[in-house]
Amino acid sequence: MRVLIVSANREVMPQAVVPLGAISVAAAAREAHDVSLVDLCFEDDPLGCLERAVRATRPEVVGLGLRNLRLGTYAESDDLIGYYREAVRAIRRATTAPVVLGGAGFSLRPQTLIDDLGADHGVVGEGERAFRGLCDDLAAGRRPPRLVTTATYGGGDGLDDLPRPARDLVDPRYYERDGTDNVQTKRGCCFDCAYCDYPDIEGRRFRLRDPARVAAEAAERASAPGVSHLFVVDSVFNVPHDHAMAVCRELMATGVPMRWVAYVSPVGFDDALARTMAAAGCVGVEIGSDSGDDAGLERLRKPFRVEDIRRSHALCAAHGIRDCHTFVLGVGDEGEADVRRTLDFVDDLAPDVAVFVVFVEDREDRTIDRARHRDAILRLLAEEAPRRRGWVVPELSIRFGEKLSRVAARRRFRGPAWLTLANRG
Ligand code: B12
Ligand code: SF4
């Protein structure tokens, strides 16, 4: 059956990201179907482009990938949802084929979005097996449920029997901009941090890829034209520790030089791992530190304490790895006094980069409110952040925005945006 997959994401802040989810789903679907992909990221007239692509490919099913509910600044999502609504309308103008929604953003609000956008079906969570099963159903004249998951179509949830992402479908402009490609070594997160929706998207149990396969894919990507950096997209790269070690050893065994960054938790990030990661090409880590005092970390159910954050920072410095710490402020009742303690802590820590975000809830079925003291916290950040080197507040465009990206592009900086900031000093 003819399948058209649409990557609707147009966000280029903090940087444009290769649509790994959409190309993973495309790779699985094309084992049995005739798959094309249209990526709207760099198109001047995205809706016109979409309508033309639908008319040209005459699909029998259209999969619309919705990665983000928020803009790069974390601003509210009304405009974005309006754009997704328009995208469904553009598809409907050109075909009567069923429209299937999927992607991380969709999976956080499946019921709301499928109704709002008026789509026929939705894939919640991982798409490889679920979208393939849904296409098989439609091709055989069966009527799939409105919302499907991997479990709808039985089978396992292992990652090694999935095909590699369909990189041949990626728009080369991603690499021309900043040279960053992406790879995944596992899915899931076993931690239970209070506000975090990553386990909702990927599952609460780690599912690991074979380290040798990861390394082969990474080496291939690192050697691809225009690729200078890899972003390891795992929710947490360094847990389980032995898997992270094994991936690093396999990366070294490929003999291909590469530069990569990953999300790291202070849990289990020790000297041996930091050393091995650096030897395997790791040039930067993003750490979800979140709060600068133990009471705050406990409230957020973070599995570490401030001493662990300090130790992680010292390990990065010792092994030449840049560090970027994210702080999620204002969860629930957290107020200005708590935030001041965190800011004092960051002052003292002096990481390469610190990113401050005021919490917003995106899941339709959760009750964690938006930050009650949001405005006061933003006022405080507006005063303090501009004076500190490496402090970034996307929502207030402090060291974040298109102007900075244009400077980076003009000077031909390569790699993840925060790394550019760290390297510029
Ligand atoms: C790594 C990551 C980043 C990296 C990306 C680096 C890179 N070069 O790739 C960086 C740090 C740059 C980043 C930035 C942003 N990110 Co981000 N990111 C992630 C993360 C951790 C993993 C994404 C990923 O690649 N996963 C691996 C792929 C294989 O999975 P996937 O995309 O989910 O795809 C699967 C399914 O969703 C589904 N699927 C996907 N597409 C389709 C299409 C169809 C048709 C179907 C049927 C199914 C389907 O099947 C796929 C395969 O199983 C997720 C959180 C998470 N754990 O999922 C957040 C996440 C996607 N990001 C998010 C956000 C908000 C952003 C930013 C807007 C925020 C910011 N200011 O930094 C920017 C936007 C960047 C952009 N240009 O779009 C949100 C999106 C939802 C929301 N709340 O809006 C998430 C879910 C995190 C969160 N809860 O906040 N991100
Ligand atoms: S914040 Fe990080 S460690 Fe905590 S649950 Fe989310 S992904 Fe896991």
Q: Kindly list the distances between the CA atom of residue 72 and the CA atoms of 11, 67, 167, 186, 216, in Å, as whole numbers in the listed order.
A: 7, 12, 24, 25, 31
Give residue for tokens 């954050």.
309
Q: Write out residues with Cβ below 6 Å of ligand 2.
A: 189, 191, 193, 196, 198-199, 235-236, 265, 288
Stretch 116-144: mean pLDDT: 98
Q: Which helix (H) or strand (E) holds 37?
A: strand 34-39
Q: Are 217 and 227 in contact (CB under 8 A)?
A: no
- 129 & 178 share domain: no
Stretch 138-163: mean pLDDT: 96
The pLDDT of residue 294 is above 90: yes
- 356 & 221 share domain: yes
- 128 & 194 share domain: no
Which amino acid makes up residue 140? A
Closest-CA residue to 417 (of 325, 399, 350, 10) = 399
- 141 & 178 share domain: no
Q: Does residue 123 belong to any structural domain of this protein?
A: yes
- 289 & 327 share domain: yes
- 273 & 300 share domain: yes
Stretch 217-239: mean pLDDT: 97
What pLDDT is stored for residue 369 in this prediction?
60
Q: Are 23 and 6 in contact (CB under 8 A)?
A: no
Q: Which domain-ending residue is among 153, 182, 215?
A: 153
Long-range contacts of 394-399 (CB under 8 A, 24+ apart): 394/13, 394/14, 394/72, 394/73, 394/74, 394/355, 394/357, 395/73, 395/74, 395/75, 395/357, 395/358, 397/73
Q: Does residue 162 belong to any structural domain of this protein?
A: no
Q: At what angle do helices 374-384 and 336-349 cross, to 10 degrees?
A: 30
Q: Are 238 and 247 in contact (CB under 8 A)?
A: no
- 190 & 55 share domain: no
How far apart, in whole angstroms, are the C-alpha atoms of residue 39 and residue 53? Answer: 10
Segment 88-126, tens digit of pLDDT: 999 999 999 999 999 999 999 999 999 999 999 999 999
Q: Does residue 166 belong to any structural domain of this protein?
A: no
Stretch 42-70: mean pLDDT: 97
Segment 155-214, tens digit of pLDDT: 789 999 999 999 999 999 999 989 999 999 999 999 999 989 999 999 999 999 999 999
Q: Which domain-ending residue is among 153, 185, 200?
A: 153
We report the CATH number of the domain holding residue 394 as 3.80.30.20
Stretch 41-56: mean pLDDT: 98
CA–centroid distance, residue 204 to ligand 2 (Å): 10
Segment 258-286, tens digit of pLDDT: 999 999 999 999 999 999 999 999 999 99
- 187 & 124 share domain: no
- 206 & 244 share domain: yes
Nearest alpha carbon, ligand 1 atom 2: 233
- 134 & 176 share domain: no
Q: Which domain-ending residue is among 126, 153, 180?
A: 153
- 267 & 345 share domain: yes
In degrees and rounded to multiples of 5, residue 392 shows phi and psi of: -120, 130
Instruction: Provide the phi-psi class of 118: left if phi over 0, else alpha when psi is between -120 and 50, else beta.
Output: left
Nearest alpha carbon, ligand 2 atom 6: 196
Q: How many domains does the chain have?
A: 2
We report the CATH number of the domain holding residue 68 as 3.40.50.2300
Within a 13 Å sphere around the CA of 242, how many CA atoms are in the beta-carbon half? Answer: 0
Tokens (6 digits) for 380:
């405080």
In degrees and rounded to multiples of 5, residue 414 shows phi and psi of: -115, 155
Q: Is the CB of 206 under 6 A from ligand 1?
A: no
Q: Does residue 184 belong to any structural domain of this protein?
A: yes
CA–centroid distance, residue 9 to ligand 1 (Å): 10
- 299 & 362 share domain: yes
Q: Does residue 226 belong to any structural domain of this protein?
A: yes
Buried b (16+ CB within 10 A) or exposed e, 172-196: eebbebbbbbbbbbbbbbebebebb
pLDDT greater at residue 406 or residue 84:
84
Q: Does residue 161 belong to any structural domain of this protein?
A: no
Share of the chain above pLDDT 90, in %: 85
Residue 368: partners with Cβ closer than 8 Å, 6 or more residues away: 194, 195, 331, 332, 359, 361
Q: Does residue 121 belong to any structural domain of this protein?
A: yes
Helices (H), 327-401: 336-349, 374-384
Give residue for tokens 């995208």.
87
In degrees and rounded to multiples of 5, residue 354 shows phi and psi of: -130, 130
- Quick one: which atom of ligand 2 is closest to the CA of 290? 1
CA–centroid distance, residue 392 to ligand 1 (Å): 20
Segment 365-390, tens digit of pLDDT: 776 666 788 999 999 999 999 999 99
Stretch 309-324: mean pLDDT: 98
CA–centroid distance, residue 391 to ligand 2 (Å): 22
CA–centroid distance, residue 69 to ligand 1 (Å): 10
Nearest alpha carbon, ligand 2 atom 4: 193
- Quick one: which atom of ligand 2 is closest to the CA of 265? 3
Q: Kindly list the distances between the CA atom of residue 177 and the CA atoms of 120, 277, 337, in Å, as whole numbers in the listed order.
A: 35, 26, 41
Q: In terms of residue numbers, what domain contains 12?
A: 2-153
Mutate to test the pocket of ligand 1, among 6, 18, 25, 196 (most ligand atoms within 8 A of CB): 25
What does pTM read for this prediction? 0.97
